[in-house]
Each structure stands twice: as structure tokens, then as C-alpha cells.
Chains A and B, each alone.
Chain A
């Protein structure tokens, strides 16, 4: 449900950029780590609801999820962490560090061209 707060912050950021570019945004790409717990359907719905009547109305949202990354204590390589099989996917070592979860980022906005 925190997606409504995310949607509001996203709308503010895109509206500010649209004013700067003096153009109508048509799509935005955002990225988030797993621990941000963003549900695509909820965020898309919340964004569409609050964007009504703004320059962002009918914009398309592309949401990219980044998996939790571990760094192996033996072979030092990075791997996708899975709690049900908590070991390095390259060498099987169970000594590893979890890397910080990527934050919620507004990566890119696409604007309409005349």
C-alpha cells in the first residue's frame, strides 16, 4: 500500500522534469530492489489514479526489479540471492555477504516529440 506514496513522489518528479523540458511525458522507466516491496499492479493503478488531470495522464510506467545480490566469501563473484538455497550459485560456498538493496530510482522519462 506504500505504493501510493511512491506514486505521489514519482508524479512530483516527472511533473517537475516535464516543466523543465516543456514537453509532455509519455513513458517512464523506474527500477527498484526487491526489498522496496513494490507491486507493479498497485503502483501502476495508484499512479494512473493520481495522474488524472495532470500532464502525466495516460503515461506508461515500466518497472524494472533488481534481485538481491550476494557476494561470495570464497570465489568473490556476485550472484542472485535465494533464501531457500542460500549459497553462492557459482561455487556453492555458504559464506557470503548480501549487497545493499538498490533504491527506488526514476531512471528515464520519454517525452512526446512534435
Chain B
């Protein structure tokens, strides 16, 4: 038997230190920050472009985009005239707090009230890495199925908001999706989570999300 040393140290402490720095910077500058997490294709970028466009004059939004490859999402955000910084992770499945620290330095924070971080499309890994945000927003589109909170509990338990997106598709009757099951399973994991059923495409339900966001941002500034 060799010599054993007891430690009990956090393995992700380096990321946590960067997250603390990000949180400190955002607080000092009075910015509200949300970390948006979902599977690929759930509609995160569409929700953001609609939110930016419809809240023009009420809330100034800047976006940090995380993708494995391409500038496509940052270009979609910039097309709304909002500032966006693209991070390409080149294979990594999540954004780290160090990458977000770099991106925050690129954003014109004086011209922004709310910073959104659109994480790499992945329902598992991003939930394990704090970025220094005020809260997480998980997006679930109805085509992904209603069993996702049960199968991927971590992100649903840690989020401040759940946006159930693409609800316009339910009207066609071609998708079996039990909204009540999603709400019940999610609330078992997270009693305080806000849940909004929305369609970024048609605008249905988006007003409730906008109101929540405006109020949440107000408390920070």
C-alpha cells in the first residue's frame, strides 16, 4: 500500500475562477447575463433574433455565440444590428468561462443591457461549466420529445427558465408531445423554474418571455 494524501479539491476550480471573474465584471458594469443551452436545432438563435428585434428600444442585447465551426450564428445576430462575438470551439462540446472572458472583452458593454451566451448545441456538457452568468435558459423544441427532462435532468434542474419552442408544430397533429409531462418532470427537478411555451417563428407566447426578461434585467441594472 502506498502513501495516501487526502485532498477534497474541486477539479474544475480553474473554470470556476474564470467564472467568478466574469460574474464580477458583469456585476460591476450592471449587465444581466443568461447562458442559453439546448440540443442543436432547438431554435436558440431564432429566439434570440426575435427577442432582439421585438425588444428594440426597450432592451439592448449583445450575444456571445458558441459553435464548433462557422460564423453563421453571429452573422444572423449581426443582421439584427445587435453586437455579436463568435467563438469557434473547434470540436469542444461546451464553452468555458475563459473563452467567455475573452468574448466579453470584445463586446461593446457600454451599449448593452443584457448579454446572452448561446452555448454549443448540446444538452449535457455545457450544464457542467459555469460561465459567470446570472442564470441558465434551457430551450427544448417539441420535435425533440417530452422525455428530455427525465433523460437529461442536470440542465433542467439548474436553469432559471425553460422555453418550450416550436409549439406551432403541435397544431399540425403530427407530433406527439405532452407539454404537461415536460412541465411536471421539470418542476420535480426545479420547483422555481419559469416555463414559457413559445414559437419564435410565429411569435406565439413570446410576449411572456419578453416580459420576464425585461423584469429580470431591470433588477440587475
A contact set with B: CB distance below 8 Å:
1-2, 4-6, 9-10, 12-13, 17, 21, 23, 26-27, 30, 34-37, 68, 83-84, 86, 97-98, 101, 103-113
Structural contact, B5 and A112, CB atoms closer than 8 A: no
CA distance A68 to B156 in the complex (A): 14
Structural contact, A108 and B7, CB atoms closer than 8 A: yes
CB neighbours (8 Å) of B149 from chain A are: 83
Name, among B1, B5, B191, the residue most crowded by chain A CB atoms within 10 Å (CB to CB).
Answer: B5
Candidates B2, B13, B185; contact of A26 at CB < 8 Å: B2
Query: How near does chain A come to B170, taking the closest CB pair, in angstroms?
Result: 24
Report the interface size class on chain B. 35 or more
Encoded as 1 (CB less than 8 Å from any A CB) or 0, chain B from 120 to 138 comes to 0000110111000000000
Encoded as 1 (CB less than 8 Å from any A CB) or 0, chain B from 149 to 161 comes to 1100110011000
B contact set with A: CB distance below 8 Å:
1-15, 92-94, 96, 124-125, 127-129, 149-150, 153-154, 157-158, 185, 188-191
Candidates A97, A103, A108; contact of B4 at CB < 8 Å: A108
Given the known interface contacts A26-B2, A83-B189, A111-B5, the answer about A9 and B153 at a Cβ–Cβ threshold of 8 Å is no
CB neighbours (8 Å) of B13 from chain A are: 9
CA distance A6 to B3 in the complex (A): 24
Given the known interface contacts A2-B93, A37-B127, A104-B10, the answer about A113 and B2 at a Cβ–Cβ threshold of 8 Å is yes
CA distance A10 to B14 in the complex (A): 11
Structural contact, A2 and B11, CB atoms closer than 8 A: no
Candidates A13, A84, A108; contact of B6 at CB < 8 Å: A108
